Structure 1
């Protein structure tokens, strides 16, 4: 009986450690910072590589709209 109580206590303590805390609104801040930085770097790299093509595409689209 004492063994079962010890297992139950151990499982309860493990569940409390594994289960999410009450502060579920905090989120994964370092993860979001990393995603934001990687996105900004990707956009900057694409801009460096394809800037001329993007500018031409934008100018063509604007000239079609304005007539």
Structure 2
């Protein structure tokens, strides 16, 4: 039987609520990962953030150019 393990050794403690690790009883040992219910809610806000970032590229490049011209 495969049972979920909620990533207790994750470098990012919050990730354990987003990602479930399933230990497979095989040799050699292996694990499978899947998003938790909370993790499955991420795509929509991440797409929104990605669109926001894409729309701001001209502003970022202009600010970078201004900075470079002053330094």
Normalising by structure 2, we get a TM-score of 0.37
Q: Looking at secondary structure, tell me which structure has more strand per residue.
A: 2
Using the size of structure 1 for normalisation, the TM-score is 0.39
Greater share of helix: 1
Higher relative contact order (CA 8 A, sep 6+): 2
